Structures are given as C-alpha cells and as structure tokens.
Amino acid sequence: MSVIDFTKTPVAELFGSNCFSNAVMKERLPKNIYKEILAVQAGEKELTLAVAEVVAAVMRDWAISKGASHYTHWFQPLTGLTAEKHDSFIAPTGDGKVIMEFSGKELVKGEPDASSFPSGGLRATFEARGYTAWDVTSPAFLKQDPTGTTLCIPTAFISYYGQALDKKVPLLKSVDALSVQAIRVLRALGNETSRRLFTTVGPEQEYFLVDKEYFDKRPDLLLTGRTVFGVLPAKGQEMEDHYFGALKEKVAGFMRELNTELWKVGIPAKTQHNEVAPNQFEIAPVFLNSTAAVDANQLVMETIKTVARRHGMEGLLHEKPFAGVNGSGKHNNWSMATDDGVNLFEPGENPEANARFLLFAAAVVEAVDRYALLIRASVATSGNDHRLGANEAPPAIVSIFFGGPLTEIFDNIAEGKSGGKTESGSVIKLGVTSLPALPKDVSDRNRTSPFAFTGNKFEFRMVGSSQSIATPNTYLNVAVAQVLKEYADKLEKAPNKNEAIQNIIKESYSKHKRVIFNGNGYTDEWVREAERRGLPNVKNAVDALSVLIRSESIALFEDHGVFTKEESESRYHIYLEKYSKQINIEAGITIELARRVIFPSVSDFSAKLAKDAAALAAIGAVSSAQEKRAKRIAELTSELFDETAKLETVLGEAQDTADVQAQAKAYFEKVRPSMDNVREKVDALEKLVSKEAWPLPGYEELLFKL
C-alpha cells in the first residue's frame, strides 16, 4: 500500500496528476486545438479527425511520460459495471524495433467484441461487432497498479447499427434533451445569454468494509455480495454509536489511500465518515457534470474494492449485505445549471431569479408525480428490493420533500393568495416585479424522503449502492424535459409572460401537489396516506420494471431521442434477466452452503452432543437441557433438509421457465420466499450450535472486527 507524504507532495499538486483534464489540455495543446475541444465539449462543433490526431499525440506523450504502456477505451455496458480491452502503444517498424503510436482514429473509435455483452435482443450473439466512441465531456485518466499503467479513455458503446449498448449514450442524449427544453423556457423568461444546460450530480456512496480473512470464509459474500445466512449479535446498531464516530486506525488508513487514488484521477472526494451500521461508511465527492459524475462514481466503486484489499479488507457494495442492520444506498444529488453559471434551483437574490426558481421547481414536482413509475423503475434491482421501505431507506413510494416554508409558498400560489412567508418573515408574492429574495435554505433535510429538495438541488435517495447512477439520471432528465417542453409551448404562445408563469405554476402544482410529503416516510400512516392520495407503491423490481414497455414510456423516450422502441424493450429484458440471474446465484449458494457446509457441521455437532449425553447417562448424570437442545437441533436439521429440497425444486422450475417476465416473477414469488425459509432454519441452528462448531464467520466478526 502506498502512503503519500502531503508535506512533500501537496494535495493541490497531487490532484489530477493522473487525469488528462481540461487544465492539462490547456497547458499541452496548441491554443486553437484546445479551443476546438472546448467547442466540442459544449456541443457547438463536431470533433474532426485533424483535431483528434493532435489530441491523440499529446495524450499519448503525456501517458507514456507517466509510465503507460497500454491504452483502453473504458466503457459502461448494460452489466452496470465497466469494461476495458487493452492495446499497447507499440507499432513494429519492420526492422525488429517498435515505435510508440496512438492515432486520432484510435482515440476516437475502438472496436471491442460486443457479442457477450447484454443486448436484450438488439443483436444476435454471433454478431460481434461493436464500437466505442470517445466521450469528450469526461476526461481520460491513468489506472496504475503494481504491474503497470494504462491510459483509460471514457467512451460510449454502440452496436454496428448504432444502437446504444451502454448506459453512457442514453445519459448524454437525455442531457441534450433536457438542455433543449430548458433553454426554450429560459428564452421565454427573457434569458438571452445561456446557450446550453447541463445537469450536475454529487453521488454519496455508502459501503461496508469487512476483514478479508472472514470474507474469504463466506462463499455467499464472495459470489453474491451479501450473506444468505447470519444471526445478529447481541449488539447491532441500536446504540447509534457508530454514526459519525471516530475512525478506527485501519479504516482511517484505508480512507487516506482511497482519497489519494481518487484525487490523482481528478475525482474531488470531499467527505467521509462512519455510517449508521457497524463497519458501514460513506464517501461523497464535490458535484461534477453528470456524465463525468457517472464515470467518477464507477471509479469510486472500483477503487473502494481495490484499496480495501490492499489493507486486508473487502469492500461490499451490495444494498443489503447483512440482514437486520441498515443497507447501503447512493444519494444522487441532482441539479440543473447553465453554461454561464446559473443554478436553476438556486432561489436567487432578485425577483426574476425567484420566478425562474419557482417555475423549474414546479416542473420537477410535476415530473416526479407524472413519471413516478419510471423513477421507481430506474432504481429497480434485486439488491434494492431488500432495502427500499425497510425502515432505513426511502419507501418504495415516490414522493418529494419540500419543507414547510417552500410548501407554504407553493400552496399559497395554488390557492391564489398573495404569497407566503419565508422563515425570515418576508412575504412572497408571485408578481415578478414584487418578489423579494428567497432565503437560500428554504427547506430542512428529510432523510426518509425519496426525493428531497435540499437548498439548491434535489437529493434522490432511492438509488442503490451498487447501481450505476446513469440510469436514474437518464430517466429523471427525460421526465423533467417533457414537462419543460409543455411549459415552453405555453410560454412561447403567451402574450403576457408574467401571467403565464403564474398560471403554469398554479395549475401544475395544484394538480401534482399530492406528491409533496414533508413527514416521516417510514411510518405505516404514510403508506395509508399515500394510497389515499393515489400514489403508486411498487414494492418489487419485477413489477417496477414493467413500466419500461408501456406504450407511453416508449413514446416518451422516442420523442426526446433517448431510446428507440427496440432499445427500451431491450433494457426491460436485460434488467429482468439480471434480476433472475442474481437470485439464481443466491439460491444456488444457499443450497450449496446448506447441504455441503451447514448440514455436515451441524450433524457432527449433534453427534458429539449425543455422545456426551450417552456418557453422562452412563454415570447417571443426564442433563434434560442437553437432551432438549439435541432434540431441537435434530428437528431443525430435518426441517433444513426438507426446506433445501423445496428450494431446489422451485429453483429448477424457475430455471426452466422460458419467458423472461414469467421467469423473473417465479424467482421473486417462489424462489426468494423459499430461500427465506431455508435461512430461517439455518439461523435458528446457528443460535444452538456452539460458536467453535459453526462453520461460517458470524455477524459479530463481519460487523465488528476490523
């Protein structure tokens, strides 16, 4: 493990040292070429091969100067992970020697074999051609390990026929779609300076750390990322002593190296702390534009696991590694800003800014209400099924937290009143010329809300810890783009813009304010209230994903140029298949552990108990407690055998189901409950078998020993 002495290498000097950032390009590229790249990043120009050739030469020299021997187009297929195929810079000269080459064509375009990546029926598996294309909006970086250094070039991934096979292309298209509609609204409001809108994201990443020794002895953790068996120790998280507690030395060392590795590639890791559950932690970066933030978050997840292993630990990114304690999420802090520095969710210090803020905030409210099912589908995974609504995370009901003052302002607008009051007491009136400045923090924070306004951004808390944030942001961008499109249509036709703004906010909020909820989202009362309001409560991923193939969803994505009908349908199939495959693996390891590990160990322990009981009986010292214990273990062992057989049967039936939707339903409705039945027997046995005889490291070791 590497230790950086920040007295010799200041953080400011270290930061971005392995990132081919705009600052590096500005320093190394000719001024005219750098200007061209900025125009391409802003969407004003197409990248030409001539410009790419110059950039490629400079990027190659920079990478080689830092020890790179290979390069890769680094992309994000629909596995939700990242992928890379490495090529060396060498080119034979014909005389037995080589030179180091890297052309503009190689920078801009790669051709990995696409046949084995998920396509959801977009292509046949024997059709292997796929293309990667340089994403100019996200900087290249260097990956370093003890074996060498590789130049990684963030890219999009498409099929031979141009269909998106990744999560990057739809995200880029969704940002463009949102930009088009937002600029239309801003023009109608009198803004003539902003040319483009982009979204910013700051994902707070939660994760667990466990000792590598114990991890290696848990095949379920190794293969699935979660424990399929395990009993809580006497102490869990009920003392709230872990949250924001002092860092253990081993963890602090890990975090220092994690920060160092992230800073080197230009990821502005800012905040780190102990989370609620034992051995659970969080890291949060400074906001980046959403495409760079997606890439950065994938790197954060990879780096957590890599650095943890260097410190004798394993990083767990599963949404629910341990039953009975909090799971892990990824809070997606999302905002909208213009190329000239205007945050559209900043209340502002002048009347015009206030009107803009209220209009765009109303658009989010309407989008979240109208497209709640799509937003729910964006976080639908088998891992998140364990977490959402589990008294630790937002419920599966999509709602927005506004806070008292902001809700009052919108309520008064909807009711046609003159205004509301901020916490400072100033009156809010909607007439653009009479609006006073709104306070920056017009709401508190609500950790039980799925979608909370937190000052100048919205915090989408339903995203799972292992997920790529690309899909949630893509769906959110498209939903808001559609509402802004309808707003723009009205504003562009309106003879009186101020009156039109008032009417739009009033009508929109009045119709969609049912999605505003400022209370405790964990309570049963909210579930009943949400049902009364008509808000959907989709509790599992299989049902949630069905919205993707509804005609209105397909039309929405088509209208904004984000997905074709075929691409929407392909994702539905891919996500259902992934759901089924994940549970199939979990069920398989449940059966294997029960039969090959738990059953033999418990049988040996039971035999020892019987032997000890016989020895006691021989001397007339029979223990009734020992007899009862042995009898209960025997009963549970028999029940475990039966439940494991039942699980094997329903698993086989699910595996033999051909239809992808029916198969996913079988895994959810039959296989998962059967797995729970097996777990119930195993966990009961763990409480009866001596600690020394139990074959797996328990929760005490996994959660409290580092």
By C-alpha distance, which of 317, 347, 350 is closest to 440?
Answer: 347
Inside any domain, residue 75: yes
Mean pLDDT, residues 286-312:
95
User: Would you state the pLDDT for residue 349?
Assistant: 66
Q: 68-77, 236-245, 396-405, 592-601: which has the minimum mean pLDDT? A: 236-245
Please check whether residue 142 is in contact with residue 151, taking contact to mean a CB–CB distance below 8 angstroms. yes
User: Would you state the pLDDT for residue 414?
Assistant: 84
Tens-place pLDDT, residues 680-706: 999 999 999 999 999 999 999 999 998
pLDDT surpassing 80 at residue 437: no
Query: How is residue 18 written in tokens?
Result: 């392995």
Please check whether residue 77 is in contact with residue 170, taking contact to mean a CB–CB distance below 8 angstroms. no
CATH code of 287's domain: 3.30.590.10
Inside any domain, residue 6: no
Q: 179-183, 421-425, 523-527, 555-559: which has the minimum mean pLDDT? A: 421-425
CA–CA distance, 694 with 542 (Å, rounded to integer): 36
Q: For 458-494, b where at least 16 C-beta lie within 10 A, e where not — what string? A: bbbbbbbbbbbbbbbbbbbbbbbbbbbbebbeebeee
pLDDT surpassing 90 at residue 432: no
Please check whether residue 2 is in contact with residue 260, taking contact to mean a CB–CB distance below 8 angstroms. yes
Inside any domain, residue 5: no
User: Would you state the pLDDT for residue 18?
Assistant: 96
Please check whether residue 407 is in contact with residue 518, taking contact to mean a CB–CB distance below 8 angstroms. yes
| Last residue within a domain, chosen from 535, 563, 591 | 563
User: Would you state the pLDDT for residue 9?
Assistant: 79
By C-alpha distance, which of 354, 359, 355, 360 is closest to 337?
Answer: 360
For residue 470, the 8-state DSSP code is H
- In this structure, what are the phi and psi dihedrals at residue 489, rounded to the nearest 5 degrees? -60, -40
pLDDT surpassing 80 at residue 446: no
User: Would you state the pLDDT for residue 606?
Assistant: 87
User: Concatenated DSSP letters for 216-243?
Assistant: HT-HHHHHHSS-SS----S--STT--ST
Q: How confident is the model at residue 293 (pLDDT cuts 50, 70, 90)?
A: very high
Inside any domain, residue 36: yes
Q: Residue 181, SS3?
A: helix
Mean pLDDT, residues 243-270:
92
Tens-place pLDDT, residues 308-342: 999 999 999 999 999 999 999 999 999 999 999 89
pLDDT surpassing 80 at residue 262: yes
Q: What is the tally of structural domains in the chain?
A: 3
Q: How confident is the model at residue 187 (pLDDT cuts 50, 70, 90)?
A: very high
Q: Are residues 452 and 495 in the same domain?
A: yes
Q: Residue 344, SS3?
A: coil
Query: How is residue 451 written in tokens?
Result: 């979608």
Q: Which of 82-91, 122-131, 563-572 has the highest mean pLDDT?
A: 563-572
Mean pLDDT, residues 514-520:
93
Inside any domain, residue 572: no
Q: 43-57, 433-447, 543-557, 558-572: which has the minimum mean pLDDT? A: 433-447
User: Concatenated DSSP letters for 530-568?
Assistant: HHHHT--B--SHHHHHGGGGSHHHHHHHHHTTS--HHHH
Q: Are residues 364 and 450 in the same domain?
A: yes
Tens-place pLDDT, residues 557-572: 999 999 999 999 999 9
Q: Is 634 exposed, middle or buried (0-12, 13-18, 19+ CB in 10 A)?
A: middle
CA–CA distance, 486 with 371 (Å, rounded to integer): 15
Contact residues for 493 (Cβ-Cβ < 8 A; gap 6+):
none
Cα–chain center distance at 631 = 47
CA–CA distance, 105 with 397 (Å, rounded to integer): 48
- Whole-number mean pLDDT of the chain? 89
| Last residue within a domain, chosen from 166, 195, 230 | 166
Q: Are residues 162 and 180 in the same domain?
A: no
User: Would you state the pLDDT for residue 479?
Assistant: 98
Inside any domain, residue 237: yes
Across-strand partners of 334? 201, 458
Extended beta strands in 256-328, E state: 269-274, 280-285, 288-289, 313-316
User: Would you state the pLDDT for residue 517?
Assistant: 94
Inside any domain, residue 1: no
Q: How confident is the model at residue 242 (pLDDT cuts 50, 70, 90)?
A: confident
pLDDT surpassing 70 at residue 434: no
User: Would you state the pLDDT for residue 435?
Assistant: 41
User: Would you state the pLDDT for residue 427?
Assistant: 39
Please check whether residue 581 is in contact with residue 665, taking contact to mean a CB–CB distance below 8 angstroms. no
Inside any domain, residue 398: yes
Please check whether residue 37 is in contact with residue 140, taking contact to mean a CB–CB distance below 8 angstroms. no
pLDDT surpassing 80 at residue 121: no
Contact residues for 375 (Cβ-Cβ < 8 A; gap 6+):
368, 398, 451, 460, 462, 472, 475, 476, 479
For residue 595, the 8-state DSSP code is I
User: Would you state the pLDDT for residue 195?
Assistant: 93
Tens-place pLDDT, residues 453-507: 988 899 999 999 999 999 999 999 999 999 999 999 999 999 888 889 989 999 9
Q: How confident is the model at residue 431 (pLDDT cuts 50, 70, 90)?
A: very low
Tens-place pLDDT, residues 3-28: 677 767 788 889 999 999 999 999 99
Tell me the CA distances in angstroms from 44 to 173, 196, 201, 481, one per residue in order: 15, 10, 23, 20
Q: Are residues 241 and 157 in the same domain?
A: no
Q: Are residues 515 and 635 in the same domain?
A: no
Q: Are residues 191 and 152 in the same domain?
A: no
Q: How confident is the model at residue 410 (pLDDT cuts 50, 70, 90)?
A: confident
Q: Are residues 195 and 287 in the same domain?
A: yes
- Residue 585's domain spans which residues? 577-704
Across-strand partners of 166? 77
Q: For 642-659, b where at least 16 C-beta lie within 10 A, e where not — what string? A: ebbeebbebbeebeeeee
User: Would you state the pLDDT for residue 624?
Assistant: 73
Beta strands 130-134 and 148-159: pairing type? antiparallel
Q: 110-114, 275-279, 364-368, 639-643: which has the minimum mean pLDDT? A: 110-114
CATH code of 646's domain: 1.20.120.1560
User: Would you state the pLDDT for residue 542?
Assistant: 96
| Last residue within a domain, chosen from 563, 596, 621 | 563
Mean pLDDT, residues 218-233:
96
What is the enclosing helix (H) or strand (E) of 653? helix 624-655
Contact residues for 418 (Cβ-Cβ < 8 A; gap 6+):
412, 427, 429
Tens-place pLDDT, residues 612-626: 766 666 666 566 777
Q: In the block, which residue shows the tokens 């409705």?
A: 669
Q: Are residues 180 and 160 in the same domain?
A: no
Q: Are residues 428 and 487 in the same domain?
A: yes
Query: How is residue 213 written in tokens?
Result: 């020794």
Q: 191-195, 420-424, 641-645: which has the minimum mean pLDDT? A: 420-424
Q: Are residues 184 and 141 in the same domain?
A: no
Torsion of CA 487, 493, 495, 501, to 10 degrees: 0
CA–CA distance, 565 with 549 (Å, rounded to integer): 8
More confident residue, 98 or 145: 145
CATH code of 147's domain: 3.10.20.70
Q: How confident is the model at residue 158 (pLDDT cuts 50, 70, 90)?
A: confident
Tell me the CA distances in angstroms from 484 to 212, 478, 576, one per residue in order: 50, 10, 31
Q: Are residues 160 and 187 in the same domain?
A: no
Q: In the block, which residue shows the tokens 């937190």?
A: 454
Q: For 306-328, b where at least 16 C-beta lie within 10 A, e where not — what string? A: bbbeebebbbbbbbbbbbebbbb
Q: How confident is the model at residue 252 (pLDDT cuts 50, 70, 90)?
A: very high
pLDDT surpassing 50 at residue 423: no
pLDDT surpassing 70 at residue 380: yes
Query: How is residue 216 written in tokens?
Result: 């290696």
User: Would you state the pLDDT for residue 621?
Assistant: 59
Mean pLDDT, residues 238-252:
82
284: left (phi over 0), alpha (psi -120 to 50) or beta: beta
Please check whether residue 165 is in contact with residue 44, taking contact to mean a CB–CB distance below 8 angstroms. no
For residue 464, the 8-state DSSP code is B
Q: Residue 463, SS3?
A: coil
Q: Are residues 141 and 190 in the same domain?
A: no
Please check whether residue 51 is in contact with residue 33, taking contact to mean a CB–CB distance below 8 angstroms. yes
Neighbours of 253 (CB within 10 A): 16
By C-alpha distance, which of 273, 207, 276 is closest to 237?
Answer: 276
CA–CA distance, 651 with 666 (Å, rounded to integer): 9
Percent of all residues in the chain with a pLDDT value above 70, rounded to a whole number: 90
pLDDT surpassing 60 at residue 1: no
